[in-house]
Amino acid sequence: MSTSAPNGRIGETLLEVKGLKKYFPIQRGLLRRTVGYVKAVDDVSLYVREGETLGLVGESGCGKTTASRCIIRLYEPTAGQVLFKTRALSPDGSPQVVNLLELNREQMNRVREEIAMIFQDPINSLNPRMTVSDIIAEPMVIHGKYQKGVSEERIIELLRRVGLRPDHLRRYPHEFSGGQRQRIGIARALALNPRLVLCDEPVSALDVSIQAQTLNLLQDLQQEFKLSYIFVAHDLSVVQHISDRVAVMYVGKVVEMAGSEELYANPLHPYTEALLSAVPKPDPLYKSDRIIMQGDVADPSNPPKGCYFHPRCQYAIDLCRQKTPEFRELKPDHWVACHRAEELKLRGI
């Protein structure tokens, strides 16, 4: 599927998600009968290459976070495949592609060395009862890699690398600012030398000035440790800044995925176009021609027939109301799920 990108730092496919679904049952009544499902993630397909950042954008509740949590099996997906090139499972450390959803618990825990997660809320994602040193050591302790002395030095090195001081080791999370806490979270994510880092809105809870610092730190670390990121965000300008490629989600589905510049310049899906038109521009003379979408976001427990976006789409035709569009590669490395993608001329920025 994927071809090697021209950029030298980007390698082969590391993670490929196919048809990922996560339905949360809605239970009612005394007997907890299942009366329906919230289709939080409904047929998501995407891939990430080594050393690359894939931005995952969409509005609140579209399933971005759920999708990223399904990848690392914090939630058990309902269906689909998560193919990951791991080195943790073979005795000699040679890479092998496995479906994470088929691994047993013990195998999955071994793969977890290679996939780390950075969380959105820097206050909630660090245990308030543990010191910084305990927090960063925890992944090592869990994987039986903590050695007195050696690991302590590694923790200090990680702290320095994310811009904190060694004398912060014995402090508790509440003594730090939001940005510093997020750095502690980043240091923890790096503790086991992962290859894929799932960043779940890592900067959305931070001040704008701190956002930039944190994003730059993430980029530096990517260069240095050859990391791949899945970067979940709702802020398009943040995603543009950090991503090589971007996947756009709407009501549990990926509707478009392309290289970052390509997607921003030539969107192929009307939803992407509408999102891009909403990006504020720092120009006082600019006359907004924002596309105001009609109606509400579709209810994921009762989505519309056909294309989920059709009730709000200004280009919708009868076909859109009848048939779910297929997610297809329209141009090289530019994927879209829209019946009219070929004929529409959409505006980018």
Q: Which residues bind another protein (CB under 8 A)?
A: 69, 72, 74, 108-110, 112-113, 115-117, 119-121, 124-129, 131, 138-139, 142-143, 160, 162-163, 165, 167, 170-172, 174-175, 185, 188, 192, 212-213, 216-217, 220
Q: Smallest distance from the beta carbon of 169 to another protein, in angstroms? A: 9
Q: Smallest distance from the beta carbon of 58 to another protein, in angstroms? A: 20
How many angstroms separate the CA atoms of 103 and 32, rounded? 30
How many angstroms separate the CA atoms of 60 and 145, rounded? 38
For another protein, the closer CB: 203 or 346? 203
Q: Smallest distance from the beta carbon of 143 to another protein, in angstroms? A: 7
Q: Which two tokens stand for residue 218?
A: 């993430």
For another protein, the closer CB: 120 or 260? 120
- Cα angle 23, 25, 29 (rounded to 5 degrees) comes to 170
How many angstroms separate the CA atoms of 275 and 271, rounded? 6
Q: Smallest distance from the beta carbon of 326 to another protein, in angstroms? A: 33
Q: How many CB atoms lie within 10 A of CB 283?
A: 7
For another protein, the closer CB: 14 or 217? 217
Q: Smallest distance from the beta carbon of 255 to another protein, in angstroms? A: 27
Q: Smallest distance from the beta carbon of 140 to another protein, in angstroms? A: 9
Q: Smallest distance from the beta carbon of 128 to another protein, in angstroms? A: 6
Are 17 and 71 contacting, i.e. CB atoms less than 8 angstroms apart?
yes
For another protein, the closer CB: 101 or 316? 101
Q: Which two tokens stand for residue 99?
A: 């479906």
Query: What are the residues whose beta carbons fall under 8 Å from the beta carbon of 147, sequence distance 6 or more?
Result: none
For another protein, the closer CB: 176 or 250? 176
For another protein, the closer CB: 160 or 328? 160
Identity of residue 333 = D
Collapsed DSSP state (helix, strand, coil) of residue 106: helix
- Bridge-based pairing of strands 79-86 and 13-28 is antiparallel
For another protein, the closer CB: 220 or 318? 220
Tally helices (H) and strands (E) across the chain. 10, 12
